[in-house]
Amino acid sequence: MVKLSLLKVECMKNVKAEIVISTPNLRSDLPFFSNVLEMQLESIFPADDPAVAVFSGHGLRIRLERGSEYPPGKINIFTDNKKCFADGKSNLVAPNGTKIEVLDLDPPLEIPQTNHSFLVKRLKDEAPWIIGRAGMHYRDLIPDRLGGSIIASHIRIPDGGPVPDMVHYHTVGFQLIYCYKGWVDLVYEDQGPAFRLHEGNCVIQPPKIRHKVLYASDNIEVIEIGVPAEHVTTIDHDMALPNKEFNPDRLFQDQKFVHHRKSEAIWDNFRVKGLKSRDTLISKNTKNVAGVHIIRAITKKTDWVSHNADILFNFVLEGSMILENDTDNIFHLKSGDAFVIPPKMVTRYSNISDNLELLEVSLPGEFETEIIRKFNT
């Protein structure tokens, strides 16, 4: 974040900003902005025939000018009780034509219904990486976003160093950061001092947990999963991190912060025979909103199986394999490739390399897997 010098702060002590809106008849607008919108009249002139009125309220300053060239525009007003504002009306029009929409201050998160589809995204077939904010390079791993229900991004930063980030939070249903290559320094609300997220480790960012990215290694790569695909990021200008409180068991909308370390992980049998996994315990700590497993193979071929998860996403971290489905499609996959298997589709993994490693993300965390045919049939 850019810090202003003391001299600059001193110079800006008395700076104000206002929005200029035209009105053909100021007298008609005065009672609307004062009484209906509950804004305070700050100034009005000239006294004999008022042509300009300045109102303030709800974090906004408006200058109404009779005969101004500027159009009426639209004002969004956010409140925690819509019934008590403007007689409960959600849409109003001022006499000068300005449109007003009254909205919920903290609306409930809406996650679109999943539009199920089978998807394979190969790294070798990709167009050049898209350069996004702060010089970060992006690959979209689920282009159709499954109807807006999820976004999966492969992100890399070629040049490491300090990250120009601010304390912020996301209004999400679920969010995962998996460190694919390199490392990144992070700090989270109520989780103690900053820490380094190493390659092979991951964190979940529960809804509205304040956090900040501090420093990244050269050529860091992460896999980021967000639900829903479009969600709001809000800057918190008041909180400094790390904060004084230390409460690792705190729930953020029923989800607990998780920092999964591969060095402490336990490998166990997986839901598909022939595979083993290290459970990140994310399903437990999100109350089954989502599950995250790192998968390895102990055989060259799995059974033919289907599942009933709403979303089942995989990213090939290392090695290679063939993905087969019940429509006789065969996909040769290797590190950097991703795929989504919709519910009820029958698939199997074959020609699995000894070093295969997959990142699997499911919503919900627990779901049923059915064996359709054994691998030798």
82 & 143 share domain: no
Is 305 a domain residue?
Answer: yes
Please check the confidence at residue 1 and state whether its pLDDT lies above 50. Answer: no
Answer with the residue of higher pLDDT: 6 or 292: 292
CATH classification at residue 145:
2.60.120.10
Is 113 a domain residue?
Answer: no
Answer with the residue of higher pLDDT: 314 or 374: 314
CA distance 93 to 79: 18
**Hey, CA dihedral for 282, 284, 289, 295, is it positive or negative?**
positive
56 & 153 share domain: no
Q: Which of 74-88, 115-129, 346-360 has the highest mean pLDDT?
A: 346-360
Tally of domains in the chain:
3
Q: How many distinct helices (H) and strands (E) make up the chain?
A: 3, 34
Is 6 a domain residue?
Answer: no
255 & 282 share domain: no
Is 363 a domain residue?
Answer: yes
**164-177 per-position pLDDT tens digit:** 899 999 999 999 99
Tell me, what's the pLDDT at 133?
A: 66
Query: Please, what's the b/e burial string for 4-25 (b: 16 or more CB within 10 A of its CB; e: otherwise)?
Result: eeeeeeeeeeeeeeeeebbbee
Is 287 a domain residue?
Answer: yes
Is 52 a domain residue?
Answer: yes
276 & 245 share domain: no
Please check the confidence at residue 231 and state whether its pLDDT lies above 70. Answer: yes
Tell me, what's the pLDDT at 5?
A: 60
Contact status, residue 58 vs residue 103, Cβ threshold 8 Å: no
Q: What is the mean pLDDT of residues 269-281?
A: 95
- Count of residues making up the chain: 377
| Region of poorest pLDDT, from 91-95, 102-106, 123-127 | 123-127
**250-272 per-position pLDDT tens digit:** 999 999 999 999 999 999 999 99
228 & 348 share domain: no
134 & 77 share domain: no
- Inter-CA distances, 213 with 61, 154, 223, 296, Å: 34, 17, 15, 30
**Hey, CA dihedral for 330, 334, 337, 340, is it positive or negative?**
positive
Q: What is the mean pLDDT of residues 284-308?
A: 97
341 & 366 share domain: yes
- Inter-CA distances, 91 with 35, 274, 336, 352, 370, Å: 16, 59, 48, 59, 51
Please check the confidence at residue 292 and state whether its pLDDT lies above 70. Answer: yes
**Sheet with 99-104, edge to edge strand ranges:** 74-79, 99-104, 91-93
Please check the confidence at residue 30 and state whether its pLDDT lies above 50. Answer: yes
CATH classification at residue 19:
3.10.180.10
Tell me, what's the pLDDT at 298?
A: 93
Q: What is the mean pLDDT of residues 115-123?
A: 95
Q: Any bridge partners for residue 21, and if so which?
A: 64
149 & 222 share domain: yes
Closest CA to 357 of 287, 275, 289, 291: 275
Is 196 a domain residue?
Answer: yes
Tell me, what's the pLDDT at 281?
A: 96
Domain end position, chosen among 207, 232, 259:
259
Please check the confidence at residue 285 and state whether its pLDDT lies above 60. Answer: yes
Closest CA to 215 of 156, 154, 164: 164
Q: How confident is the model at residue 6 (pLDDT cuts 50, 70, 90)?
A: low
293 & 334 share domain: yes
CA distance 370 to 304: 9
321 & 341 share domain: yes
Query: Above pLDDT 70, what percent of the chain?
Result: 95
268 & 287 share domain: yes
Tell me, what's the pLDDT at 12?
A: 62
Residue 347, SS3 per DSSP: strand
Q: How far does CA 301 lie from the centroid of its chain?
A: 35
Contact status, residue 286 vs residue 306, Cβ threshold 8 Å: no
Cβ-proximal residues to 293 (8 Å cutoff; 6+ apart), any chain: 270, 277, 278, 279, 280, 359, 360, 362
**Host domain of residue 58:** 15-104
Neighbours of 267 (CB within 10 A): 13
Q: How far does CA 184 lie from the centroid of its chain?
A: 18
274 & 255 share domain: no
Is 360 a domain residue?
Answer: yes
Domain end position, chosen among 242, 259, 276:
259
Q: What is the mean pLDDT of residues 350-356?
A: 97
**141-162 per-position pLDDT tens digit:** 999 999 999 999 999 988 889 9
| Region of poorest pLDDT, from 69-78, 196-205, 238-247 | 69-78
